[in-house]
């Protein structure tokens, strides 16, 4: 029995053709968190010159594009997602000339560049926010942000009970230029990240200027942070407008803060900007919305693609993977976009660790215990991580890889409290550790003061076991996770065809099997016993095979 799923007759088997306007549809994209990738100047922070120095590594890996997390001037209240200047480079990370040289080096290696754009909020050190504070109540400068009077006779209570994503109230009260307690401003994240007022024409125009600024410098696409939160209903009374977040957002588009229908008017205008370029600039939305709301963000008239985060929250389970894949291919077909597949990123516990813990375990609680209870089954975690990666690399659509997963890195769960940088740690009263454990600087060499990350130390402490996972240890070793990723990415480009798959349901209950055009079979064994493999030539597997059989927690690609 088979079930065919078609997401569009788009073929990007030659995704790296520089002039192909559809290069993004089935691209392999590698996320770089620049402060933790490579440090060229020895100050402990990764930088743009560090990225440029590693372009040969990226080219050898076989990716189609780099997604660069924020590199803009920032006081680092939230790892760079608090932007003080959208059209410059943080001096600690380099200069605009460094950015241009990095872009040229990537393009010379036939690698596209996608940059993060952070449109929901700025840093409180942005010149416009400083102007708003100085200008006083009722000034035009304050209208670019969301300021409101407080409740109560003295205005001492926040305008609503909305909660920040990082804990505590989403409102902070300011001191007016007169020295008196004053208005409150909205921040859905840290208090150092005031939300923009997207009803203001100057805000809209300034972001269009930013999109053109980076596009003119050769940027090929944009990852849009918190894409679902720009449009807000700020009509009074705010206290009568309860809000929920993330996957709980209602499907009617009526939440006051998230996923409002009006947000797509903003992205329709952005699409006009993207289409000024040849080829048009791509974009992908980070939109934590119900599945049925995702296609609107991915429409050709909008951003063109939206992240599917479903696998970030799924156990290593056949039924869960099958359902998620089927649903997302259907959404892609509905929007005319291509699917996106993600197992790790800068905001979540690394998937090699997740798969080594008991299914459904509370990751926040586990992090608070420094990763000691329960202990991670590292062997099983890495085995399943490799199997899941090979599975998603075979799917139609774009695959987003996170730096270090090609080394088989696990979460660094035992970072000391004094080293933690994520604002979640302080904002929750030290009840949640946050995301630092997946942002520890990469190990490039098995020796040295920072395992080759830079000539001196690293801004987050690296564990001793990084020595065994370093690039120079894995390079050239046939069974290493690094060489596995390189081989899989090379083969993916060779086999990639039309955005279609056909499910094959004649396999065992714990086996997931689908076929891509050209006779490319992907088979994953989620079970505990060996499974029979169909006839064909095995092109790659995530672990060793036994004659004619697929071991548990293993994926294989066959061709016929």
pLDDT in tens, 94-141: 999 999 999 999 999 999 999 999 999 999 999 999 999 999 999 999
Q: What is the rounded CA–CA span in Å between residue 490 and residue 62?
A: 6
Taking a C-beta distance cutoff of 8 angstroms, is the pair 403, 453 a contact?
no
Asked if the bond preceding 89 is cis, omega within 30° of 0, the reply is no
* 3-class SS shares of the chain: helix, strand, coil, % to 5: 30, 20, 50
pLDDT at 362: 93
Taking a C-beta distance cutoff of 8 angstroms, is the pair 184, 174 a contact?
yes
Using DSSP bridges, classify how beta strands 112-117 and 28-32 pair: parallel, antiparallel or unpaired. unpaired
430: left (phi over 0), alpha (psi -120 to 50) or beta: left
pLDDT at 525: 97
Q: What is the rounded CA–CA span in Å between residue 52 and residue 115?
A: 15
Q: What is the rounded CA–CA span in Å between residue 520 and residue 365?
A: 41
Q: Catalytic site residues?
A: 225, 276
Q: Which residues of 296-324 are buried (b: 16+ CB within 10 A; e: fewer)?
A: bbbbeebbbbbbbbbbbebbbebebbbeb
Provide the greatest CA pair distance for the chain.
80
Q: In the structure encoding, which two tokens stand for residue 320, read together?
A: 């869960």
Q: Where are the beta strands (DSSP E) in 147-207?
A: 147-148, 171-175, 181-186
- The parts of the chain modelled with pLDDT lower than 70 are 1-18, 245-249, 507
């Amino acid at each position: 029995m088979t079930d065919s799923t078609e997401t569009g007759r788009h073929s990007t088997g030659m995704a790296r053709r520089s002039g192909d306007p559809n290069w993004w549809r089935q691209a392999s994209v590698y996320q770089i968190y620049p402060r933790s990738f490579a440090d060229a100047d020895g100050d402990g922070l990764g930088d743009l010159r560090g990225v440029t120095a590693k372009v040969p590594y990226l080219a050898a890996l076989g990716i189609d594009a780099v997604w660069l997390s924020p590199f803009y001037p920032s006081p680092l209240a939230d790892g760079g997602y608090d932007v003080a200047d959208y059209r410059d480079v943080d001096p600690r990370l380099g200069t605009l000339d460094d950015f241009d040289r990095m872009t040229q080096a990537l393009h010379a290696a036939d690698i596209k560049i996608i940059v993060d754009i952070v449109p929901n909020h700025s840093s409180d050190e942005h010149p416009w926010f400083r102007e708003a504070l100085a200008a006083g109540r009722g000034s035009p400068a304050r209208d670019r942000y969301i300021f409101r009077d407080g409740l109560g006779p003295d205005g001492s209570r926040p305008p609503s009970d909305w909660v920040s994503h990082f804990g505590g109230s989403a409102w902070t009260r300011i001191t007016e230029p007169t020295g008196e307690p004053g208005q409150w401003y909205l921040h859905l994240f840290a208090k150092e990240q005031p939300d923009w007022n997207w009803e203001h024409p100057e805000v809209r125009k300034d972001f269009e200027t930013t999109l053109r600024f980076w596009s003119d410098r050769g940027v090929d696409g944009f990852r849009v942070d918190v894409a679902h939160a720009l449009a807000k209903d700020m009509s009074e009374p705010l206290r009568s407008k309860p809000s929920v977040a993330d996957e709980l957002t209602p499907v009617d588009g009526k939440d006051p803060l998230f996923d409002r229908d009006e947000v797509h008017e903003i992205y329709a205008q952005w699409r006009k900007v993207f289409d000024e370029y040849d080829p048009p600039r791509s974009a992908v939305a980070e939109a934590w919305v119900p599945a049925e709301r995702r296609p609107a963000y991915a429409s050709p008239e909008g951003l063109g693609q939206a992240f599917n985060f479903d696998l970030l929250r799924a156990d290593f389970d056949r039924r869960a993977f099958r359902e998620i894949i089927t649903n997302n291919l259907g959404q892609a077909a509905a929007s005319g976009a291509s699917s996106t597949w993600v197992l790790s990123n800068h905001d979540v516990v690394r998937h090699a660790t997740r798969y080594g813990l008991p299914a459904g375990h509370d990751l926040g609680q586990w992090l608070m215990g420094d990763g000691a209870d329960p202990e991670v089954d590292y062997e099983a975690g890495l085995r399943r991580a490799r199997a899941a990666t090979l599975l998603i690399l075979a799917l139609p659509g774009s695959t987003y890889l996170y730096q270090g997963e090609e080394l088989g890195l696990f979460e660094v769960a035992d970072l000391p409290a004094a080293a933690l940088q994520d604002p979640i740690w302080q904002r929750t009263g030290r009840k949640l550790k946050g995301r630092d454990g997946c942002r520890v600087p990469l190990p490039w060499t098995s020796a040295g003061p920072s395992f080759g990350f830079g000539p001196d130390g690293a801004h987050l402490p690296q564990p001793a076991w990084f020595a065994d996972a370093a690039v120079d240890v894995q390079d050239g070793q046939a069974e290493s996770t690094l060489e596995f990723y390189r081989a899989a990415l090379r083969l993916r480009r060779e086999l990639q065809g039309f955005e279609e798959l056909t499910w094959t349901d004649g396999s065992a209950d714990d086996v997931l099997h689908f076929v891509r055009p050209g006779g490319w079979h992907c088979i994953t064994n989620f079970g505990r016993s060996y499974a029979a493999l169909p006839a064909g030539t095995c092109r790659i597997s995530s672990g060793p095979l036994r004659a004619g059989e697929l071991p548990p927690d293993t994926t294989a690609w066959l061709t016929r």
